[in-house]
Amino acid sequence: MVASAHGARRAGRGLLLTRSATLALCAVALGVVALASLRIGSIGITTADAVDALVRYAPESYEQTVVRTLRLPRTLIGLGVGAALAVAGAALQGMTRNPLADPSILGVNSGAAFGVVTAVYLGELTHPLQFVWFAFAGGLIAAMLVYGIASAGPGGATPVKLALAGVVVSSLLSSWLTALLLLDQQTLDVVRFWLAGSLAGRDLSVFLVALPFLLLGLAGMLLLSHQINILSLGEETARSLGMHTGRVRALVTLLVVLLAGASVAVAGPIGFVGLAVPHIVRVVTGPDYRWVLAYCLVVGPLLLLSADIAGRVVARPSEVQVGIVTAMVGAPFLIALARRRRVAEL
């Protein structure tokens, strides 16, 4: 008895070691990808130049200026947005116990986009600090609408209902968006580049405005990871363990909207990162959300930056927006998930 408990503990320690080692490995990979993101692009840059631009910046060097003004903001935004989207997706999946939950499928992304465009159209707002609030509001309203429609009826919010409601709310919002943009050329001019869902050409000031929200959201989510674990056992179990499920759910939803809204405000709508990354991560971590969220924090930016680099390389000399790359890679994920019997018959 004692021996077996001891063995289990040892096995647990082995597991802990493996998981920590893999996480460290992922972190190293992230470092490599981040460096590659500084180097690769329409003009190649040597590692020495890239490092110099960071530690002893010489403004007269063309290469270093490119790194400082273009590649560095882009890489930082990729790091922040990738982590935010992946963590938000994982938390949503845990909380709703729904393998298809993802900020873009739940309509948060298009809601936030619609909020921003409305703000620009009605209020003639141009400063990101002003329109980030509209991104939050739009994302929250869209998520509530989708969830409300999908959870009608005794079955609750099943994957199919959620996905359908999300897709339709998104297409409704995007049609209104198109109408708004056609009505007003000036709004189109302000938001055109932002709507494409890309890391390129973003202002670092926007990122700095969104950064506190991102950090708050990520930290809050990591602190709540134990609660998400309990929620993922189901409503009854969580309640019988003494949890105020309503309060925790509200808090997690708020954090998801914070993360997704901030990412949309910075980079525009980028889909499928929040869907795919948690599923990839779970192969290593299993269902424990403390590990899932920690891994998402590293693997999310890893994948988003890789997708961004792929987008720079495949269509040289022009670029493919990262949102397009993530959709092409992420959509097969959705299909594979849908083919699993357990999901489709929920």
Partner 1 sequence: MVRALVSSQTERRPRLRVVRVGGVAFRVDASVLAMTGLALAALLALSAWALTLGSYRLPLAAVIAALSGSGSDEAQFIVLDLRLPRILAAVLIGPMLAMSGAIFQGLVRNPLVSPDVIGVNAGAAFVAVFWITTRHSPAALPLVAFAGAVVAASIVYLLSWRGHIAGPRLILVGIGVNAALSAATSFMVVRAEINDASRAVLWMTGSVYASTWNDVRTLALALAVLGPVGIALMWSLRVIQAGDLVARSVGMPLERVRLSLILVGCGLSAVAVSVAGPIGFVALMVPHLARMLAGPMCGSVFAFTGVLGALLLLGADMVGQHALPVGLPVGVVTAAVGAPYFLYLLYRVNARL
Residue 175 vs 205, nearer CB to partner 1 = 175
**Residue type at 148?**
G
Residue 54 vs 343, nearer CB to partner 1 = 343
Q: How far apart are the first and last CA of the chain?
A: 40
Residue 239 vs 340, nearer CB to partner 1 = 340
Residue 217 vs 311, nearer CB to partner 1 = 311
Shortest Å distance, C-beta 224 to partner 1: 29
Give every CB contact of residue 41 below 8 A, 6+ residues apart in sequence.
66, 70, 71, 312
Nearest Cα to 113, choosing from 198, 29, 184, 56?
Answer: 198
Rounded Cα distance, 110 and 316, in Å: 29
Shortest Å distance, C-beta 153 to partner 1: 4
Render the burial of 99-112: b for 16+ CB within 10 Å, e for the rest.
bbbbbbbbbbbbbb
Shortest Å distance, C-beta 156 to partner 1: 9
Residue 82 vs 217, nearer CB to partner 1 = 82
Shortest Å distance, C-beta 315 to partner 1: 5
User: DSSP letter string over 56-98?
Assistant: S--TT-HHHHHIIIIIHHHHHHHHHHHHHHHHHHHHHHHHHT-
Shortest Å distance, C-beta 181 to partner 1: 10
223, 292 Cβ separation under 8 angstroms: no
Shortest Å distance, C-beta 338 to partner 1: 3
Residue 211 vs 320, nearer CB to partner 1 = 320
Interface contacts to partner 1, rule CB under 8 A: 100, 145, 149-155, 158-161, 163-165, 167-169, 171-172, 174-176, 178-179, 182-183, 271-272, 315, 318-321, 323-325, 327-328, 330-335, 337-339, 341, 343-345
**Residue type at 280?**
I
Centre a 10 Å sphere on the Cβ of residue 25 and count the other Cβ atoms it contains. Answer: 11
Shortest Å distance, C-beta 316 to partner 1: 10
Structure tokens at 173: 């919002």
Shortest Å distance, C-beta 29 to partner 1: 25
3-state secondary structure of 156: coil
Structure tokens at 196: 């494409």
Residue 199 vs 255, nearer CB to partner 1 = 199
Residue 164 vs 254, nearer CB to partner 1 = 164
Rounded Cα distance, 159 and 307, in Å: 26
Whole-angstrom CA distances from 132 to 77, 145, 240 are 15, 20, 38
